[in-house]
């Protein structure tokens, strides 16, 4: 029995026991201590929401405040909404929030963006920082792979939009996702939930908390998810792109004195699916010679999965969800760590210390020729990453003002050992057919690149934020951050032939020239980026009445410069080390918003307008001329993102609640004159401006994409839904029957750094429904269906190496359905 199966069985038995006993009632007076100053004396539901449906409590400014009183655009999802909508990770959460985007081809190659900004869409590059910070219990997570994990024993998720950094943690230019786990309780309590559905979906979650003594309380949680893959591999007979997750979290709270709380937390999370296949989407002609493009290349190979003819993919309709990839697939992703948080009441405020160590082990295997041919037989970049963070922060208040001052230190050590090996079909696929060596499979068979990639990354900062109440209605809030970054990185790629002989960077035999063209050796070591930067922001807010808040913000901030740790372009055997570093992004951000409640606070309407201008935008581009698909960084001169957001919710009675959120986002490269060209304008043998998508035409060396779309951003995006319920009494138990619906829509967006006619993703909508019964004593049973209309859509489209015209991608989930049973006690 696998670890995942064992955990599921264990949790199922735990749930059965839980259902058989009476659940004690937890009152506010008996509630557990919370994780932020001033939270003691409120239970988790009280902290999440007060008696008014829209009075949501957040800690965005490191103190408890109602979200409507905070002059920051914030989306908040509590435990009830997370559970009822099936939002058990960031990808699912993005369907509820129009301005949150999540893209992933595997856990490493994932990006989380807010308003389209944060991380370049494409292959992950460890040498740059994330633009959207992910925090769990005030600990910063440097790698976005954490966003692919299941939420574990979560109380609330806050998504802050716009630049952050003068209040806490790492500097982030686009926003932050702050996840708060449930705190240890001094009353015995617990919850358990099991789900089963189509595609052999199984999920179980459980947590238990209680006192270990008068001053010590503990909490333990576990979650596991498994699901059959959504793509069938006809070559292996397996379903791939499956889910296989398990996570544990434990925390101990020691109330050392009336003024000091210490919380020690530890967690371990593991994913081990057969994943992640990017399958055939379509063929889009490039300017490469016709005999070196996908149709002619595949016609040169015999059939692999059919009985006769030449090679062809199992289906040219991606929504048949078939592939024939022949290389191993794996996405083993292990994260964990330990943190110690101390909160000491001193004077008029609270001193908080957060110390943490995190690790990430990544063990992948990919098929990087994206076909069932033996072109690339091994492609992997296993990595080990360790990070240490220390934050010290004091939140105090005086007569007519409050403030936060703090210091943050971050250290990260990364070691990646990558391998790419070519197979017996590589010569015919990669070498020009006019060259006789293309008919010799031994030229490239067994050719192996061994990559050694290292990074040592330190960041330190001092920050502060003041909120000065000029009058009872007007508050002025300046903030400042002084930041130092020190990054030292190396990239060494050694290439050997099948006999173990080194392939030289220049010169050599005709065979070695072709080998070098396929996998080019390169090296740069101890490349260093060091810089000081100052960020600042200023917010003015005006509260003309209890239920209206008007605010305006200007922020000048930056995203740290970085190092290209995926390799750089190679010209005539020489690594172009001028691309080894990228400049920091310089961000100017303007925002104006109104938060309002009306109809006796039964309705809430928040509207925000924003304008963000970034100079030296860090764009991740692909060097499609090479056999290896290299994602390297380049600075675009300037980009602009501007738009308007509106969030509306209404609860006319306890029986009905509705919401609709929308965003209009206008975005473009204001100036990017030396960008890599899209595939339809790439691959030509000479430099010039030929007809796009016509084989044999000349290609420009670079393209001017000024005025074009940024990748990953829809102009229009919406989420909407609601729930209705009806009280009932069944078998003597008071409860309610409820029906809920949630939907989302996004318009067309680009999936390539340089917009291509082949990689635009058409707009799509998704609809999810649930029907259930819940009781006053914590039982909840409901049936659910996701993507109820079985909408066909793409998550990501991508170009592939060599300008062959092959476009690969990830298809979105089909319709799924199931049943969930949960109990809180």
And the tokens for 361?
A: 């082990």
Q: What's the confidence (pLDDT) of residue 514? A: 95
Question: Do residues 805 and 285 lie in contact, with contact meaning Cβ atoms separated by under 8 Å?
Answer: yes
pLDDT at 29: 30
> Count of alpha carbons within 13 Å of 589, Cβ hemisphere only?
28
Spatial distance between the Cα atoms of 490 and 126, rounded to a whole number of angstroms: 11
pTM value is 0.90
Q: What is the CA radius of gyration of the chain?
A: 27
All domains of the chain, ordered by start, with CATH?
Answer: 3-433+457-824 (2.40.170.20)
What pLDDT is stored for residue 128 in this prediction? 83
Mean pLDDT value across residues 16-40: 32
Bridge partner list, 772:
738, 782
Tell me the mean pLDDT in the region 120-139.
84
pLDDT band at 623 (very low <50, low <70, confident <90, very high): low
Is 516 buried (19+), middle (13-18) or exposed (0-12) by CB count in 10 A?
buried
Residue of 137 and 2 predicted with greater confidence: 137
Give the pLDDT score at 33: 33
Q: What is the pLDDT of residue 825?
A: 92
Whether pLDDT at 119 is above 90: no
> Nearest Cα to 263, choosing from 215, 223, 205, 191?
215
Q: What is the mean pLDDT of the chain?
A: 89
pLDDT tens-digit series, residues 340-397 = 999 999 999 999 999 999 999 999 999 989 999 999 999 998 999 999 999 999 999 9
Q: Which residue has the tokens 């064992």?
A: 6
Question: Which DSSP letter does residue 173 get?
Answer: S
Give 552-574 pLDDT, tens digit per residue. 999 999 999 988 888 777 777 67
**pLDDT given for residue 631 in this prediction:** 56
* pLDDT tens string 730-741: 888 899 999 999
What mean pLDDT do residues 615-622 have?
81
- Going by the DSSP 8-state scheme, the letter that residue 524 receives in this structure is E
pLDDT, tens digit, 9 for 90 and up, residues 11-21: 443 333 333 33
Phi, psi dihedrals of residue 471, rounded to the nearest 5°:
-140, -175
Classify 384 as helix, strand or coil.
strand
Exposure of 388 in the CB half-sphere (CA atoms within 13 A): 4
Tens of pLDDT along 304-320?
988 889 999 999 999 99
Dihedral (Cα; 552, 553, 554, 559), 10-degree rounding:
-150
Nearest to 187 by CA among 43, 57, 78: 43
Strand partners, 579: none
Output the pLDDT for position 731.
84
DSSP code of 586?
E
Please, is 716 exposed, middle or buried when counting C-beta atoms within 10 Å of its C-beta (0-12, 13-18, 19+)? middle
């Amino acid at each position: 029995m696998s670890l995942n199966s064992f955990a599921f069985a264990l949790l199922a038995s735990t749930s059965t026991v839980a259902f058989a006993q009476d659940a004690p009632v937890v009152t506010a007076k008996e509630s557990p201590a919370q994780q932020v100053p001033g939270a003691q004396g409120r239970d988790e539901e009280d902290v999440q929401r007060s008696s008014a449906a829209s009075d949501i409590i957040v800690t965005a400014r490191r103190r408890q405040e109602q979200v409507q009183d905070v002059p920051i655009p914030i989306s908040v999802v509590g435990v009830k909404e997370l559970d009822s909508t099936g939002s058990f990770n960031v990808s699912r959460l993005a369907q509820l929030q129009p301005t949150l985007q999540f893209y992933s081809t595997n856990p490493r190659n994932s990006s989380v963006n807010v308003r389209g900004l944060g991380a370049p869409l494409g292959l992950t590059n460890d040498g740059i920082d994330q633009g959207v910070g992910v925090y769990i219990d005030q600990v910063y997570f440097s790698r976005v792979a954490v966003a692919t994990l299941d939420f574990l024993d979560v109380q609330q998720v806050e998504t802050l939009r716009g630049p952050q950094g003068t209040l806490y943690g790492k500097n982030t230019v686009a926003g932050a996702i702050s996840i708060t786990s449930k705190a240890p309780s001094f009353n015995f309590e617990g919850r358990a939930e099991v789900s089963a559905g189509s595609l052999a979906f199984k999920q179980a979650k459980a947590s238990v908390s209680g006192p270990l003594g008068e001053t010590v309380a503990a909490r333990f949680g576990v979650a596991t998810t498994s699901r059959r893959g959504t793509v069938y591999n006809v070559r292996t007979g397996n379903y791939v792109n499956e889910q296989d997750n398990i996570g544990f979290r434990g925390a101990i709270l020691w109330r050392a004195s009336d003024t000091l709380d210490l919380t020690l937390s530890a967690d371990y999370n593991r994913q081990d699916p057969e994943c992640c296949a990017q399958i055939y989407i379509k063929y889009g002609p490039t300017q490469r010679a016709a005999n070196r493009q996908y149709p002619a290349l595949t016609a040169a190979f015999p059939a692999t999965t059919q009985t006769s003819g030449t090679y062809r993919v199992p289906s040219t309709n991606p929504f048949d969800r078939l592939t024939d990839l022949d290389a191993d697939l794996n996405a083993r992703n292990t994260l964990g760590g330990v943190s110690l948080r101390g909160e000491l009441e001193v004077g008029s405020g609270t001193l908080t210390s957060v110390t943490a160590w995190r690790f990430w082990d990544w063990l992948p295997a990919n098929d990087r020729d994206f076909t069932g041919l033996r072109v690339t037989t091994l492609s992997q970049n296993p990595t080990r990453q360790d990070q240490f963070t220390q934050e010290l922060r004091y939140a105090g208040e005086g007569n007519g003002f409050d403030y936060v001052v703090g210091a943050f230190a971050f250290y990260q050590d990364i070691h990646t050992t990558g391998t790419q090996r070519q197979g017996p079909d590589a010569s015919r696929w990669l070498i020009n057919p006019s060259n006789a060596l293309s008919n010799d499979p031994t030229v490239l068979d067994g050719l192996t690149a061994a990559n050694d990639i290292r990074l040592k990354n330190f960041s330190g900062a001092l920050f502060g934020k003041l909120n000065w109440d000029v009058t009872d209605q007007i508050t002025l809030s300046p903030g400042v951050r002084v930041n130092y970054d020190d990054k030292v990185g190396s990239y060494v790629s050694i290439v050997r032939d099948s006999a173990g002989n080194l392939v030289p960077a220049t010169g050599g035999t005709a065979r070695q020239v072709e080998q070098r063209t396929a996998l080019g050796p390169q090296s740069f070591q101890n490349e260093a980026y060091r810089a000081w930067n100052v960020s600042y922001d200023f917010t003015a807010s005006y509260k003309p009445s209890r239920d209206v808040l008007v605010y305006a913000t200007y922020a000048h901030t930056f995203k740290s410069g970085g190092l290209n740790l995926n390799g750089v372009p190679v010209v005539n055997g020489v690594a172009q080390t001028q691309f080894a570093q990228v400049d920091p992004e310089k961000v100017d951000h303007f925002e104006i918003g109104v938060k309002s409640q009306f109809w006796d606070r039964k309705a809430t309407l928040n509207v925000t307008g924003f304008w963000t201008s970034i100079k030296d935008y860090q764009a991740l581009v692909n060097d499609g001329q090479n056999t290896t698909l290299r994602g390297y960084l380049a600075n675009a001169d300037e980009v602009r993102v501007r738009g308007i957001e509106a969030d509306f919710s209404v609860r006319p009675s306890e029986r009905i609640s509705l919401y609709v959120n929308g965003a209009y986002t206008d975005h473009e490269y204001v100036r990017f004159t030396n960008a890599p060209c899209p595939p339809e304008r790439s691959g030509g043998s000479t430099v010039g401006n030929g007809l796009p998508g016509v084989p044999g035409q000349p290609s420009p060396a670079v393209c001017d994409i000024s005025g074009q779309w940024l990748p990953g951003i829809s102009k229009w995006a919406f989420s909407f839904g609601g729930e209705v319920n009806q009280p009932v009494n069944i078998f003597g138990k008071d409860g309610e029957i409820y029906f809920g619906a949630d939907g989302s829509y996004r318009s067309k967006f680009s999936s390539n750094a340089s917009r291509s006619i082949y990689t635009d993703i058409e707009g799509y909508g998704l609809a999810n429904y649930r029907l259930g019964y819940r009781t006053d004593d914590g039982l909840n049973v409901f049936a659910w269906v996701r993507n109820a209309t079985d909408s066909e859509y793409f998550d990501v489209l991508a170009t592939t190496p060599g300008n062959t015209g092959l476009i690969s991608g990830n298809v979105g989930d089909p319709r799924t359905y199931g049943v969930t049973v949960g109990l809180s006690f």
